[in-house]
Amino acid sequence: MTVISSTPTPIKTIGLIFNPSKIKQLRLDRAKEYARQCGLNFVFIDLERSIEEQMPFDLIVHKMSDIHGKMLNGDVNEKLKFERFLNFCTKHPHIKILDPWENVKVLLDRKSTYEMCVHASETTIVKNLFHVPKSVFLNNNQDNIKKMNISFPAICKRQKACGTGESHLMVLVPSKDYLVELQQHFELNEPVIFQEFIEHDGVLIKVYFADGQLFTFTRPSFKNKFNSIVAFNSQKMPKSFDNNKTSTLMSSVINTDISMMKNQVNHDPLQDIANHLQNQLGVTMFGFD
């Protein structure tokens, strides 16, 4: 008797370029078998060697910003990887890249991203579809800092959006009285951003967008009021409302409140926002809060 496998033969090969920690975080290694059942073959690309030798690929999904950041910090090996990737993209324009580096690199600078988001908010067909918190950009953390026209509390962060671990370090500043303490967290001549802190009752809605598909998640965040400076890493924020994992500065809402908040999320305007941002940013996959 002939046994016919229910698993379809992979018809598309997806090349993935992520660092080991991101692969573990996204559980991409565990997703390989599920992807195969969906007719997809995941291949983790090794940039230490020729990409051509690892072909064929129908699509490549990458996070080259990590490699780019290390390259800018003087890592010669990462520079070779980055150049190998760009050369491959130039030689093989028929292979779709998510997303093209020319589109991604603009988002590595928070100032340019902010300006694009503001422009997007001002050009929506639906009036007041979304609001971008007011931000002020300074050449360093002492540059006319007390004269800037921004309300407190505020969040201070580096202008560089990603590529290094330091780019994810942020500081909540309750008032101008605490500005002097920023010198503990930023280099004196380092470009920074001050962004008005929007009260959100300790609950953050994370929105992920991928080629028209919208996914939302509820995450704990900081309470509306805090009385001292708070430094944190945005990549290490708790993913759940487990009281054992959240600090006293963060939300302590109970499960019934969380369920109610999830049910109150209106996906229609979020979809409109995502569609509009995609047109403005020119990328296929992105996220916002």
Residue 205 counted as an annotated binding residue: yes
Residue 199 counted as an annotated binding residue: yes
Residue 125 counted as an annotated binding residue: no
Residue 202 counted as an annotated binding residue: yes
Pairing of strands 12-17, 40-44: parallel
Radius of gyration of the chain (CA): 22
Is the dihedral angle over the CA atoms 143, 145, 148, 152 positive or is it negative?
Answer: positive
Residue 276 counted as an annotated binding residue: no
Residue 220, beta-bridge partner list: 203
Residue 22 counted as an annotated binding residue: yes
Residue 197 counted as an annotated binding residue: yes
Residue 110 counted as an annotated binding residue: yes
Residue 282 counted as an annotated binding residue: no
Contacts of 24 (CB under 8 A, 6+ apart): none
Max Cα-Cα span within the chain: 82
Residue 177 counted as an annotated binding residue: no
Residue 240 counted as an annotated binding residue: no
Residue 200 counted as an annotated binding residue: yes
Pairing of strands 169-173, 230-233: antiparallel
Residue 203 counted as an annotated binding residue: yes
Residue 204 counted as an annotated binding residue: yes
Residue 33 counted as an annotated binding residue: no
- Report CA dihedral (246, 108, 272, 216) to the nearest 10 degrees: -30
- Report CA dihedral (69, 72, 73, 75) to the nearest 10 degrees: 90
Summarize the annotated binding site as residue ranges.
22, 63, 110, 157, 168, 195-206, 221
Annotated binding-site residue numbers for 1D-myo-inositol 1,3,4-trisphosphate: 22, 63, 168, 206
Task: Please give the annotated binding residues for ATP, written as ranges.
Answer: 110, 157, 195-206, 221
